[in-house]
Amino acid sequence: MRARKFKGFQTTLARPIVFDGVGVHAGKPARLVLSPADADRGIVFVRQDDGGREVEIAARYDMVVATDLCTVLGKDGVSVATVEHLMAALRALDVDNVLIEVDGPETPILDGCSASFVDAITEAGLTVLAAPRRAVRILKTVRVEQGDAVAELSPFEGARYDVTIDFADALIGRQSYVLDLDAASFRAEIARARTFGFMRDVEKLWKMGFALGSSLENSVALGDGRILNPEGLRWADEFVRHKTLDAVGDLALAGLPFIGCYRSFKGGHRMNVAVLKALFADPTAYEIVPLAPIRAGETIAAGAAAI
């Protein structure tokens, strides 16, 4: 299928996908099973509570219960942590409906980015469903500030992410990145950008029982004034690329693709979610719009036609 500017019908996976790995914080085995879902189902995580009851947690901003170390969704006392890398891949590849069974409190960290998710979803392919696809169009600028951190959504004809980070450490410093999101740009520029952290912080987290699954296999580690990974960085600005990946994943919690520009300065999970909450708190700031049609019922390659 020739790529088009808009997909007018919703999609789901063409077949189930299984991911096995470890959770980055508990360091315990973690499995995800992604299954096709009906139109208008959205992206839904499914977990069992302590009594064996299945709890469905919609992948939406209003289900976010924590943003300190990662983005955590929760409902009825159960939660799923570190959803942002998977959510970024689903959004970039235009997967609208999927059931995600998870056997514990975390998604597997895999390679510390979205590359494994992108590869598996691409291989599985997508099926176009007989239901119209919609998007959130930004009508006016919505801005949130916390200290010197800023995040805003503003009108723009496309899906743009304009992210700036500013770290005191000279290894990172100030970096900016602009991404006009589609499947090709995400694969080439963002999907392989890994999560990162300073060893001094990781050691503190270890003592607190967090980051137990973090390693040089899934994270960029900084310490003693250098990059500790033997292979070094994948890009000189891998840090801001990863923050852009996180933004794509967190803003996917809008529940629909958006038409607009997202800008952040010294942002992160907390700011990404805060700007979504501010947007949907103001009905005059957005509208839900249909997208131009394509044929329903056909199977396509993931990301073959992106917003």
25 is in an annotated binding site: no
Residue 283: count other Cβ atoms within 10 Å of its Cβ. 9
Q: Which of 91, 134, 241, 269 is catalytic?
A: 269
Query: If you ran DSSP here, which 8-state letter would residue 114 be given?
Result: S
Question: Is 242 known as a binding-site position?
Answer: yes
Strands 220-223 and 196-198, how do they pair?
parallel
Q: Are strands 142-146 and 64-66 parallel, antiparallel or unpaired?
A: unpaired
Question: Which residue in 302, 172, 157, 151 sits closest to 237, CA to CA?
Answer: 172
Q: What are phi and psi of 292, to 5 degrees?
A: -60, 145
Determine whether 269 is an active site residue: yes
Gap between the Cα atoms of 41 and 126, Å rounded? 15
Tell whether residue 85 is among the known ligand binding residues. yes
Phi first, then psi: give them for residue 227, nearest 5 degrees.
-80, 125
Catalytic residue list: 269
Annotated binding site for Zn(2+): 85, 242, 246
